[in-house]
Amino acid sequence: MDHFENQENQRNQEKEQPTPQKIEEENKRHKKDRRKAGFTGFIGALIGAVIVAAAMPLVYDGQMFSTDAANESEPVSQNNASEPETQNISTESVNVSSEVTSAVNEVSDAVVGIFREQQGGLMQEGEAESQGAGSGVIYKKEGDSAFVVTNNHVIDGANQVEVGLSDDNRVEAEVVGADALTDLAVLRISSENVDTVAEFGDSDTLSTGEPAVAIGNPLGNLNGTVTQGIISSVDRSIPVDTTGNNQTDWTADVIQTDAAINPGNSGGALINVNGQVIGINSMKIAQSAVEGIGFAIPSNTVIPVLEDLEENGKVERPQLGVTIGSLSEVPSYHWQETLNLPEDVEQGVFINSVQSGSAADQAGMKQYDVITSINGTEIGNGHDLRSFLYNEAEIGETIEITFYRDGEQQTTDLTLGESGTQSG
């Protein structure tokens, strides 16, 4: 009996004694369990991260937006149950949208459609073709009259012009005056049905990247259309040919925007978030490979032109009698090689051509002279030159011009002549 018991005990001990094979199998099982536990922990952490990410607001260009996932997934604690964080974010987004909507509501009734009638093509003599030409902005109401600004190219060549009001009524308009260089025109209509007048803002305070809204009458039958974008550049110089001879007659200083400007938007309003008109939409680059490049005439350029058109039917400007370009518009290589400027001269306006018999010609100015100041006021670009001439000077006034010729600084007195087709 004892013998058998001893054998049984020995067998039990052998069973309990781990063999190398058993040890290896046991280690594999533990490793598998650990990997499974680690993967499970990773998935749990990942799910937690996804939930946290879904609960966070998305940020685009500084504006915060809530998502549906945030409202569904974010755990709400006892302390913020009544006012979850995403509620504030959503409200902020709504406030931004409301600001734009309020600005549009403030000025939209002052933006009108412009329609013209003109003879042309194969039509019979005496017949007229009705065309949807563009847009306009009612900017002034005085007694029985209201005044509308639009583009010159919108009404150029028209026999008759009508204004389509926001209430869909059309009224006959009189062309008070037009200016081809700035592409602006003033119309007069009856003030009987005019309730809203647009307010001009200060275009000199604009910053690149700030919101901008275009309102107009694209395609001639979509009056009151609103498109939103930003100010892409506050100061672009665009060459303009007003005579159709493929020569630059004028350099327009304009605002660039990516707010959609389509055919028929010409003459409409570009506004800021305060509902003020900061520009009159004028042109766009219409190429298949180009998107979102439109231009508007700055309000601070528009206002003095409107005053002249109302008073004289045309713009009477003092002129040098030259065509010009800004140094910033040509490669710096030419500053020294072509214009012979000292290296410390980095701003100014160079003369492309001088009109025979003009004020500049009589003062002895020549091609490639670089103007840097007038009466002590620095002239950094074409905008500065025109701003001085149109806002500070008068026809017949004698001014002192500081300029560089062949590397040397010189001065000359010049008596300003009457406006022509030159850009300076």
Out of 15-29, 195-209, 222-236, give the one with best mean pLDDT: 195-209
Nearest Cα neighbor of 224 from 320, 130, 111 is 111
Would you tell me how many other CB atoms lie within 10 Å of the CB of residue 63?
13
In degrees rounded to 5, what are phi and psi of residue 280? -110, 115
DSSP state of 394: -
pLDDT tops 80 at residue 14 = no
Confidence of residue 295 (pLDDT cuts 50, 70, 90): very high
Average pLDDT of the residues in 282-295: 79
More confident residue, 23 or 311: 311
Q: Mean pLDDT score of the chain, rounded to an integer?
A: 78
Average pLDDT of the residues in 290-299: 89
Nearest Cα neighbor of 192 from 207, 210, 172, 177 is 172
Among 178-182, 193-197, 202-206, 419-423, whose mean pLDDT is lowest?
419-423
Q: Report the b/e string of 227-254 with b at 16+ CB within 10 A.
A: bebbbbebbebeebebeeeeebbbbbbb
In single-letter form, the type of residue at position 321 comes to G
DSSP 258-296: -S---TT-TT-EEE-TTS-EEEEEEEE---TT--S-EEE
Among 220-224, 337-341, 399-403, whose mean pLDDT is lowest?
220-224
CA dist 209 and 220 (Å) reads: 29
Name the helix (H) or strand (E) containing 21: helix 20-55
Two tokens, residue 199: 């307010």
Average pLDDT of the residues in 27-34: 54
- pTM, rounded to two decimals: 0.61
Residue ranges of E strands in 75-217: 111-118, 129-142, 145-150, 160-164, 170-179, 184-190, 211-216
CA dist 404 and 222 (Å) reads: 52
Confidence of residue 29 (pLDDT cuts 50, 70, 90): low
Average pLDDT of the residues in 111-139: 68
Confidence of residue 414 (pLDDT cuts 50, 70, 90): very high
pLDDT tops 80 at residue 122 = no
- State the pLDDT at residue 384: 86
Q: Per-residue pLDDT tens for 127-151?
A: 434 455 899 999 999 999 999 999 9
Average pLDDT of the residues in 298-327: 92
To the nearest whole percent, how much of the chain has pLDDT over 90? Answer: 51
Confidence of residue 44 (pLDDT cuts 50, 70, 90): very low
pLDDT tops 60 at residue 307 = yes
- State the pLDDT at residue 97: 73
To the nearest whole percent, how much of the chain has pLDDT over 70? Answer: 70
More confident residue, 20 or 138: 138
CA dist 74 and 47 (Å) reads: 13
- State the pLDDT at residue 123: 34
- State the pLDDT at residue 211: 94
pLDDT tops 60 at residue 120 = no
- State the pLDDT at residue 221: 80
As to burial, measured by CB atoms within 10 angstroms (0-12 exposed, 13-18 middle, 19+ buried), residue 145 is middle
Average pLDDT of the residues in 409-419: 90
Nearest Cα neighbor of 194 from 225, 162, 165, 223 is 165
Among 209-218, 226-235, 288-297, whose mean pLDDT is lowest?
288-297
Two tokens, residue 362: 């009589």
pLDDT tops 50 at residue 227 = yes
Which residue's entry shows tokens 């604009």? 206
Confidence of residue 262 (pLDDT cuts 50, 70, 90): confident
Would you tell me how many other CB atoms lie within 10 Å of the CB of residue 366?
14
Residues annotated as catalytic (active site), given as ranges:
153, 183, 266
